[in-house]
Chains A and B, each alone.
Chain A
């Protein structure tokens, strides 16, 4: 067992449920007043999920849509709280859960970089230091003072990714984001992930694209309908996922 100082992330028995059906409606209000209880029931987005990620590791999480990957990232990033269990994260987390998340269409590229930096808890000095790297990576320098709504979707994706790999953090989380970019840009992203890895950062990478995850990650986990099927070396996880059974 690794000691806790080697860990970047430790999840112990994490569970989270969501209520099925609409939260509130006039129909529901009336039936509840009349006394008939209609309940859509709960379902487990995450059911007793436990795993560890060591510092400096590139950890892949595979699973089909609805497997709980996004809920898990929300919990690790401190966005949502679990209903049971405990997650411990060592250091700062930088999640990129959706391309363009948090961008404001009316703000310029520069203003958006500053906004996201602040939201992610960086100082303005840290944002300024990261700006040249963001620009060289995303290639939007000529559009820096242009409102984001004038950007093509490809440019927005590049800026989004440029921010995510350039801001300093201890743990980076990428959720299904390379699916939206073309092959050439994906190559570029892979290079950046290698660089972060070489710098000793921890990377958690989620996808249902097995080839991509296998190429990048050393260890991983297969999440299926909120349940951990297997944790271990990526080849084993990938093989089990491809087979469809752990």
Chain B
């Protein structure tokens, strides 16, 4: 094909070329295995906020109770967990009021669950944006975290208020921002992985709800991690969410936490964030082809 050399008619009116200095800057598109950069997380923040706002608005449209569900959802879970683990099983929380204990657990767990259950489907739900616009894909991911922050804020706020008026805080509370950031980073890493994989393999659409449903029993949401003895505790520690929940409880309620549990969870988080980012970057260029 000699198409590039084919003569192109120039309309007379446009024959005068504009000065090359005021021409727009070129953007080059070439075959690439990955194109997204870490800086894009920051550069796409406006899109992230507007998509997050969209998701928040849409969630409560045509809903009679609207944002009241922000409070009803954790309340319902709190009742269920309390009945199951406190009233029926009768777990010992080492002197911490059970409601506070469960609230702190649910704070971490429900956030992870909310982000991942909707977030795994984010590319499928936004397939027209993916196929028909150059919408930064990382912004869609980050928006999943951002749009669930109000929920996280409500339940963390409730936990903090209840603790403030009953037990009071220790110095550990100063570490709370770090623990919250840790929860966010972990959830983000898992989200990147599960959502990216779902674009190619719909298996994660089935696998993630299973993991989330089974997970509430395999993480110390409603019971303390050391309840089943050292062996059970070591097994539980393999679940990275165990370290997250125990650390949040330590920070807010001053409960004890095994260092090795925290170390395992930190190692998991580092691994998952790196693997999630790499998986996302590798698959992101072909989302529009796969969806």
A interface residues with partner B (beta carbon < 8 Å): 2-6, 12, 18, 23-24, 48-52, 54-57, 74-93, 95, 97-98, 100-104, 106-107, 111, 114-116, 118-121, 123-124, 147, 170, 200, 218-219, 221, 227-228, 230-233
Query: Given B1, B57, B62, B129, which contacts A107 in the complex, CB threshold below 8 Å?
Result: B57
A236 closest partner in B (C-beta): B9
A54 with B29: CB separation less than 8 A: no
* Of the residues B9, B200, B286, contact of A81 by C-beta under 8 Å: B286
Give a binary string over B1-28; 1 marks a CB under 8 Å from any A CB, 0 the rest: 1011011111100100111100111111
Q: Which of A56, A80, A101 contacts B129 (CB 8 A)?
A: A101
Q: Which residue of B lies closest to A24 (CB)?
A: B201
Q: What residues of A have a CB within 8 angstroms of the CB of B54 in the complex?
A: 104, 107, 111, 115
Give chain B residues whose Cβ lies under 8 Å from the Cβ of A95: 132-134
User: Which residue in chain A gives the minimum CB-CB distance to B128?
Assistant: A101
Report Cα–Cα, A84/B22, bound state, in Å.
30
Chain B positions near chain A (C-beta within 8 angstroms)? 1, 3-4, 6-11, 14, 17-20, 23-32, 35, 46-47, 50-51, 54, 57-58, 61-62, 128-135, 200-202, 285-286, 288-290
Main SS of chain A's interface residues?
Answer: mixed
B26/A4 in contact, CB under 8 A: yes
Residues of B within 8 Å of A121, CB to CB, are 47, 134
CA distance A72 to B130 in the complex (A): 15
**CB-CB under 8 A for A89 and B26, given A54-B8, A104-B58:** yes
> Do A102 and B129 touch across chains, with their CB atoms under 8 A apart?
yes
- Structural contact, B3 and A82, CB atoms closer than 8 A: no
Q: Which of A50, A79, A97 has the most CB of B within 10 A?
A: A79
Residue on B nearest A77 in the bound complex, by CB:
B134
* Given A104-B58, A232-B9, residue A51 in contact with residue B26 (CB < 8 A): no
Q: Are B133 and A120 in contact (CB under 8 A)?
A: yes
Which are the 5 A-B pairs with shortest beta-carbon distances?
A91-B24, A5-B20, A101-B132, A78-B134, A118-B50
List of B residues within 8 angstroms of A228 by Cβ:
1, 3
Contact A55 B9 (CB under 8 A): no
CB <8 Å contact, A51 and B4? yes
Residue in chain A with minimal CB distance to B55: A104
| Interface contact B11-A218, CB-CB below 8 Å | yes
Residues from chain B with Cβ under 8 Å of A115 in the complex:
50-51, 54
The residue from A52, A98, A170, A227 contacting B24, defined by CB atoms under 8 A apart: A170
A79 and B131 contacting across the interface, CB-CB below 8 Å: yes
Other than A89-B29, A107-B54, A231-B6, give 19 A-B pairs with Cβ distance below 8 A: A5-B20, A24-B201, A55-B18, A74-B131, A78-B134, A81-B29, A81-B285, A81-B286, A82-B29, A92-B24, A101-B131, A104-B54, A120-B135, A147-B61, A218-B11, A219-B9, A228-B1, A230-B6, A232-B6
Select from chain B the residue with minimum beta-carbon distance to A235.
B9
The distance from the CB of B59 to the nearest CB of chain A, in whole angstroms, is 9
Tell me the bound Cα distance from A56 to B25 in angstroms.
15
Nearest CB to that of B35 among chain A residues?
Answer: A81
Note all chain B residues with C-beta closer than 8 A to A18: 289
Instruction: Tell me how far the C-beta of A217 lies from the nearest C-beta in chain B, rounded to whole angstroms.
Output: 11
Evaluate contact between A78 and B27: CB separation under 8 angstroms: yes
Q: Complex formed: what's the CA distance from A97 to B274 in Å? A: 34
* Contact A119/B135 with A74-B288, A104-B54 known, Cβ cut-off 8 Å: yes
**With A89-B27, A106-B62 known to touch, is A101 a contact of B133 (CB < 8 Å)?**
yes
State in angstroms the CA–CA spacing of A120 and B44 once bound together: 11
A98 with B10: in contact, given A55-B23, A89-B27 (CB under 8 Å)? no
| A3–B26 CA distance with the chains assembled, in angstroms | 13
For the complex formed, measure the closest distance between the CB of B96 and the CB atoms of chain A, giving whole angstroms: 42
Given contacts A55-B23, A101-B129, contact A2 B14 (CB under 8 A): no
Residue of B nearest to A73 (CB): B132
Cross-chain contact B3 with A231 (CB below 8 angstroms):
yes
Contact of A91 among B25, B31, B133 (CB under 8 A): B25
Is there contact, CB below 8 Å, between A106 and B26? no
